[in-house]
Structure 1
Amino acid sequence: MPMEHIGLPVLQRPSLPQFPRWQQESLHRFGAAKGVGQDAGTEGAQWDKGIPQVPCRAEPSRAEGGQCGRACGRSPLYGAAPRCRPRPTEPGRAPPLSAEPSRAGLNHAGVAAMYGVCGCCGALRPRYKRLVDNIFPEDPEDGLVKTNMEKLTFYALSAPEKLDRIGAYLSERLIRDVSRHRYGYVCIAMEALDQLLMACHCQSINLFVESFLKMVAKLLESEKPNLQILGTNSFVKFANIEEDTPSYHRSYDFFVSRFSEMCHSSHDDLEIRTKIRMSGIKGLQGVVRKTVNDELQANIWDPQHMDKIVPSLLFNLQHVEEAESRSPSPLQATEKEKESPTELAERCLRELLGRAAYGNIKNAITPVLIHLDNHSLWEPKIFATRCFRIIMYSIQPQHSHLVIQQLLGHLDANSKSAATVRAGIVEVLSEAAVIAASGSVGPTVLEVFNTLLRQLRLSIDYALTGSYNCITGVSTKIIKEHEERMFQEAVIKTIGSFASTLPTYQQSEVMAFIMNKVPLPSSQQSIEAGKAGENRNRLTQIMLLKSLLQVSVGFQCSNMLTALPSAFLDRLLSAALMEDAEIRLFVLEILISFIDRHDSRQKFSTISIISDISVLKLKVEKCSRQDTVFMKKHSQQLFRHIYLICKEESNIQAHYEALYSLLVLISIELANEEVVVDLIRLVLAVQEIAQTNEDNLTAYNRCALFALGAAYLNLISQLITVPTFCQHIHEVIQMRQKEAPYLLPEDVFVERPRLSKSLDRLGPEVFFWQSKISEVLGGSGYNADRLSTPYVPQLTDEDRLSKRKSIGETISLQVEVESRNSPEREQRAPAEEITYETLKKAIDSVAVEEQERERRRQVVEKFQKAPFEEIAAHCGARATLLQSKLNQIFEITIRPPPSPSGTITAAYGQPQNHSIPVYEMKFPDLCVY
């Protein structure tokens, strides 16, 4: 058919003499033969007249539908076909041509005639194209032609400037093969690309990479899982190549999005779904490896990318495959575990976090918190805890505090969420704090505890008001009190976990910080009025003291002066005077945890008469100088509070056990001879409380005090090893066992105590006598005078500030103390007579003290509130007055008495007075002796 009939231009072939000989030979070899096909036209036949005819001996390619692309010079419109194999033909017979027409309607000969002279035949094609074509076999199942691949690799290494063209041509072939569903050739093309990438490391590789990424993107866009996996594997190989030159214009946004999408694959086939997800994870891992070390690709840490990468990894980390619930063989289980998306996602997440710098930690942690919120994974807390363990162990240690701050900020943001959610966040925070025990929780340690205490106080308000707005009846959510209580316990546990990671000096600061938050009835603390305010204050006091107890349990310090500073101890002991029995018990437990430095608390958890204390294996060390100074400074204050706590009617068995432990631990850890004497006096005073019963205590309280004194004196007598003292104590205990067993711990501190109502008719033989004890201990070198003096606590401002019913009820106004503290009633001295003059002096002294206190208060207030100019002027006036007086003194010249010899003229003609020698001077009689 003529060419003009099919719409193609007729090519005017030049005459043969216009071509050189080598080109004529090429046309003879590869051109269309005369008489081959009737569609070539007469003009083509005349053009070939007289030229030796060489028929085409190429076999039609199966891959190209029977058309030859090598010998016939097929147009690039249809692409170059694989290499053809020559087939011998019969003599006198032309080779068979395909009867199938091409897309444009031309047969084989027509195409040859039309494009053979245009430079598209095999001999005139660029070398790199011929090398690329040669790597493809006739049958894709034969795989890559290795020898030709080596030729292509050598050519690429010899001429690196051709890499971009090789890549573009391979990309063109691959895109065409994908569209024609020739997946065998697609695999061969990707294999060739991988080998070229691994072999070529030169500056021109950037242009080649562009074509490579284009082909990978084409595969990832396909809906075929095998092509997606193939593209991912090639990208992973590329990601492991370290490039020498930076990339200024390369972008991986598409790959991040596509790999993240593959991580969430929901394919129906479980095996295929697993492979796709694993490919997505490997792809993300490749993106991370390729970009984190490239300063020009730092945008991988931007939130837009982290919001895709991190949730994709967490999704696979939390996803449990259905196949894992089966029971495969051990070998299969091992292989399955290696190929699990969960393990691969965890490994990728660790690598990502390990590469995160200081400024990128926030962008990497925020998607984790959002993912846990969106999928409600805080309440079970198992997965959340696992995630943050991975995070804490993966990031650099110096960045741990940033994760803690992120969690604290997230806790504040969810302050009005359900208690279970907040409890999950707090428990995860506790786990993270334990892992970050190497160092610091950041420069703002107190801010961490301030956040936790604020959450604790908010939880108390929620529980009392039943509303997240702290207004009764406003909230639409139902607040469960037991859930809030669980959250409060979680916060307290977290405070203890945080404190255990801190050094000793910071633990002391934290304890002082918590103690200052405790609302106490003092002039510097605001106490809410009303019943609701009292409940809120009480719960706040209890929770803060629980937190303080958690911190003190892990606190180890050999110096009590630094462990219990004066300001901290004053506030702590002030809480011991509260009416609430639970608060007093917490104070006692806190004091015990401070004093117990050898873990002896459990040995004295119950009150009993120990016949031989050597079985306890106590560690008794000599009191250090610092501890001696501490006891001299604070022992009387400590003993007074113990005495006052013993007088409380609301005490239960736990209080008496805590008091017993506290007394024993003081005797073991902090005692010297003076402290032991004071402790014995204190216990005898406690016995006097139970004996006289001026506070109207119940029978149980009185028997408990008797039993407490007996147990302690029995132990201290064996510690100081004075035989006569031990004998007296044992005699009294034996007498009680016979006549009054209800005065011993074995009958009192039991589930059903055996008490007696006739405590006022007890004989003197069942009491410990102060005179006897002072006598036996005085003979062993102890201070007998101090022992014979009954213990009397002193009234302080602390008692006035406490919320007790009446301080006057706890301390008697009588001056005579022997009548109250000594059981020897027959030796009472006459009481001092109180007259009008003594009362007047007492009142006047109080008024003078009040005036002096007021004056000091005004001075302090003036320096606190007055402007600086006024204070400077006041001080300047006093300085001016002092200076004027000094000037007057210096101006006074003491002239010596006139000399008998008169005056002499000194140098320069000035007169000079002679002084009389001292031995010649006459002094008044009063000055001479």
Structure 2
Amino acid sequence: MNQIIPSIIFNMKVPNQNRTQDLSITTVSPEHVIITTEILTENDLNILANTILKDLFCRVHVNDIPTCIKPVLNHLDLHELWTVVDFPKYIFSEIMNSVNHYNSYKIIDLLLDHLEVYSEKKDILRMKTCIMQVIHVCLIFAATNTGVGSTIFTGITRLIKCLEKSFHNESRRSKASVYIQDEQQFQGAVIDGIREFTEKLKDYQIMEVMHIIIITSPILNQNNENKKNHLSDVNLKFQLLLLKTMQKVATTYQTKRNDGTTSTQTTFPHQLFDPLIELMSTSVVEIRLIILEILILLIDKRHYADKIRKIRIPKDISQLNLSAATKTSHLVDMPFMKKYRERFLHQLYNCILMNNNTKDIFYTIYCLMNIVTLEVNDQDILVDIIHFCFEIQSALSTTINEDYKKVSKINCNCIHALIAAYFNLMSRLYGIEAFSAHVDEVIQSRELSAPHLLPPNAFQSTTKENSSKSLSMECLFSEKIVIDALKLSHYDISRFERIIHKSG
């Protein structure tokens, strides 16, 4: 094989774009072999070589695949053909189309072995990117034509490790190094490969890829954030890179999912949700924002986010086109949210009171609160989030809780405005008239004496209003009035007795 396969590849050429490529597998039996004395043209040699290669890999046993693939890799290495990207892509496309589909994972495995060898070589980074582009093609083929199993997911884990090694190599290089751009190109190739691979997967398989990514990301030591050294900065940057990759995968998941009856309980495993929910209250603002965005992508089945991301108090909520959300009960998601709501609201409590929150984070928190309410569409969940809002208002209004005296005045204003917007939307959307009337009264009071507690004023960094003076009760929402309004509309008000945030 060490001589035969290189000879076959030597005579192969990438077909012209205008020529239809026959991807069918051709096998040649001995009785159909014709020996000719005519001189073969270059095109004849190309066709013959292509046929022989496909026939060879069509017949090869899984145990013999390494024996056949290694001469291919060696030939591409020896003649530096990896950088002629179309050619190795063409060769491996032919091989993947020829080998028994359930053995295609073996091809990817051998390519990953080869990539890992190149990961140790610092001066041929371009070659590494080209190999990754070939792996990309093979991954797409495997996802489309075979049943994706644990072996392929192991390949994703190996790719993430290559990505991490590349990232750390980049961090050790001088900023002026010519190799930094090559490392970044390789990183982009890996991320694109993973993203496009997931586009071909089923929902639960996409979740598996996301789980692989999240458990690979470095765990930040929240207790020693003031002791960051160069290595921890690198880990932080790498974690952001992984989470952005995860965000792209989540975007793929949302784009593919058009069926509103898909159960989050079955497609959203706790192994994925647990680390996501824990990272909601991480001290790193960039990570916090991405985690919130990922949660929105995973929960937002009906694509409400664009309609309710901006914090505002519309006079007519019908313009948001959300009325249909209250007509269909998403029973498939109720067990899921009821199982996790206590931890979710506890972490959201910590998240919203972080002093380094930005305008974008407040917008994202508001969007997430609305989407959870609308998607689950359950009275108990609505009451829980209303209760959560009162817990937050109480934390901002009292001086007993020393932890949250550190929240800046501007952030306090933003949170008060966020709660007002949520109350305004939900009281009207669910037709709780007494609740809606109380919201109108508080908004009118704020318009007169505390406009900095309403959007958009609260989110303008140039806001000069000094809210150091104590707020009048008319500018705050009354828990008693809202509980009475909910009771009148037959909601379970006993849920207000639950403690959302446990200190310590």
Q: Do the structures match in fold with TM over 0.5?
A: yes
Matched-pair contact (CA < 8 Å) for 2:428–2:436: yes
Matched-pair contact (CA < 8 Å) for 2:346–2:501: yes
Please show how residues 851-866 of structure 1 align to structure 2 within 5 Å: none
Give, in angstroms, the shift of residue 440 of structure 1. 3.0
Matched-pair contact (CA < 8 Å) for 2:82–2:131: yes
1:779 aligns with 2:494: no
Which position in structure 1 is the counterpart of 2:440?
Answer: 730
Q: Describe the shift of the 1:482–1:652 C-alpha distance in structure 2 as closer, same or farther (beyond 3 A).
A: farther
Which position in structure 1 is the counterpart of 2:467?
Answer: 758
1:498 aligns with 2:197: yes
Matched-pair contact (CA < 8 Å) for 2:331–2:376: no
Matched-pair contact (CA < 8 Å) for 1:713–1:729: yes
Matched-pair contact (CA < 8 Å) for 1:560–1:630: yes
Which position in structure 1 is the counterpart of 2:339?
Answer: 633
Q: Which amino acid aligns with 1:558?
A: T
Which position in structure 1 is the counterpart of 2:424?
Answer: 714
SS of corresponding position for 1:497:
helix
Q: Describe the shift of the 1:479–1:504 C-alpha distance in structure 2 as closer, same or farther (beyond 3 A).
A: same
Give, in angstroms, the shift of residue 509 of structure 1. 3.6
1:312 aligns with 2:11: yes
Matched-pair contact (CA < 8 Å) for 1:578–1:584: yes
Which position in structure 2 is the counterpart of 1:578?
Answer: 282
Give, in angstroms, the shift of residue 385 of structure 1. 4.7
Matched-pair contact (CA < 8 Å) for 2:12–2:50: no
- Of 191, 211, 229 in structure 2, the residue corresponding to residue 512 of structure 1 is 211
Q: Describe the shift of the 1:725–1:389 C-alpha distance in structure 2 as closer, same or farther (beyond 3 A).
A: farther
Which position in structure 2 is the counterpart of 1:541?
Answer: 239
Q: Describe the shift of the 1:592–1:307 C-alpha distance in structure 2 as closer, same or farther (beyond 3 A).
A: same
Give, in angstroms, the shift of residue 638 of structure 1. 0.2
What TM-score do the two structures reach when normalised by structure 2? 0.78
SS of corresponding position for 1:495:
helix
CA distance in 1, matches of 2:128, 2:237: 19
Q: Which amino acid aligns with 1:599?
A: H
The structure number with the bigger radius of gyration is 1
Matched-pair contact (CA < 8 Å) for 2:112–2:155: yes
- Of 362, 368, 384 in structure 2, the residue corresponding to residue 662 of structure 1 is 368
1:448 aligns with 2:155: yes
Which position in structure 1 is the counterpart of 2:172?
Answer: 465
1:558 aligns with 2:256: no
Q: Which amino acid aligns with 2:235?
A: N
Please show how residues 684-703 of structure 1 align to structure 2 within 5 Å: 684-692=390-398, 694-703=404-413
Give, in angstroms, the shift of residue 479 of structure 1. 6.3
Matched-pair contact (CA < 8 Å) for 1:402–1:442: no
Matched-pair contact (CA < 8 Å) for 1:350–1:394: no
User: Which structure's residues are more often helix, by fraction?
Assistant: 2
Q: Which runs of 5+ in 1 are unaligned?
A: 1-301, 320-340, 468-476, 796-806, 808-929
- Of 409, 415, 422 in structure 1, the residue corresponding to residue 128 of structure 2 is 422
User: Per-residue CA shift, 1:679-715, capped at 9, x if unaligned?
Assistant: 0111222333444473322233122212221222222
What TM-score do the two structures reach when normalised by structure 1? 0.45
Matched-pair contact (CA < 8 Å) for 1:354–1:396: no
User: Per-residue CA shift, 1:205-224, capped at 9, x if unaligned?
Assistant: xxxxxxxxxxxxxxxxxxxx
Q: Which amino acid aligns with 1:459?
A: S
Please show how residues 900-915 of structure 1 align to structure 2 within 5 Å: none
Q: Which runs of 5+ in 2 are unaligned?
A: 18-40
Give, in angstroms, the shift of residue 459 of structure 1. 1.5
SS of corresponding position for 2:456:
helix
SS of corresponding position for 1:643:
helix
CA distance in 2, matches of 1:533, 1:512: 24
Alpha carbon RMSD of aligned pairs, Å? 3.6
Please show how residues 118-133 of structure 1 align to structure 2 within 5 Å: none
User: Per-residue CA shift, 1:405-436, capped at 9, x if unaligned?
Assistant: 23322211211344443333334433432343
Which position in structure 1 is the counterpart of 2:357?
Answer: 651
Give, in angstroms, the shift of residue 678 of structure 1. 0.7
1:607 aligns with 2:311: yes
Q: Describe the shift of the 1:399–1:782 C-alpha distance in structure 2 as closer, same or farther (beyond 3 A).
A: same
Which position in structure 2 is the counterpart of 1:303?
Answer: 2
Q: Which amino acid aligns with 2:243?
A: L
User: Per-residue CA shift, 1:126-175, capped at 9, x if unaligned?
Assistant: xxxxxxxxxxxxxxxxxxxxxxxxxxxxxxxxxxxxxxxxxxxxxxxxxx
Residue-pair matches, total? 459
Give, in angstroms, the shift of residue 343 of structure 1. 8.0
User: Per-residue CA shift, 1:250-278, capped at 9, x if unaligned?
Assistant: xxxxxxxxxxxxxxxxxxxxxxxxxxxxx
Q: Which amino acid aligns with 1:551?
A: V
Q: Describe the shift of the 1:408–1:762 C-alpha distance in structure 2 as closer, same or farther (beyond 3 A).
A: same
Q: Which moved more, 1:383-392 or 1:665-674?
A: 383-392
Q: Describe the shift of the 1:650–1:442 C-alpha distance in structure 2 as closer, same or farther (beyond 3 A).
A: same
Q: Which amino acid aligns with 1:682?
A: F
- Which structure has the higher relative contact order (CA within 8 Å, separation 6+)? 2
SS of corresponding position for 1:649:
coil
1:588 aligns with 2:295: no
Which position in structure 1 is the counterpart of 2:34?
Answer: none
Give, in angstroms, the shift of residue 309 of structure 1. 1.8
User: Per-residue CA shift, 1:727-764, capped at 9, x if unaligned?
Assistant: 222333344344433323323446x5535223534433
Give, in angstroms, the shift of residue 774 of structure 1. 1.2
1:676 aligns with 2:375: no
CA distance in 2, matches of 1:496, 1:318: 29
Matched-pair contact (CA < 8 Å) for 1:740–1:766: yes
- Of 564, 569, 579 in structure 1, the residue corresponding to residue 273 of structure 2 is 569
CA distance in 2, matches of 1:458, 1:682: 43
SS of corresponding position for 2:240:
helix
Q: Which amino acid aligns with 2:166?
A: S
Matched-pair contact (CA < 8 Å) for 1:680–1:713: yes
Q: Describe the shift of the 1:530–1:607 C-alpha distance in structure 2 as closer, same or farther (beyond 3 A).
A: closer
Aligned identity (percent) is 28
Give, in angstroms, the shift of residue 641 of structure 1. 0.5
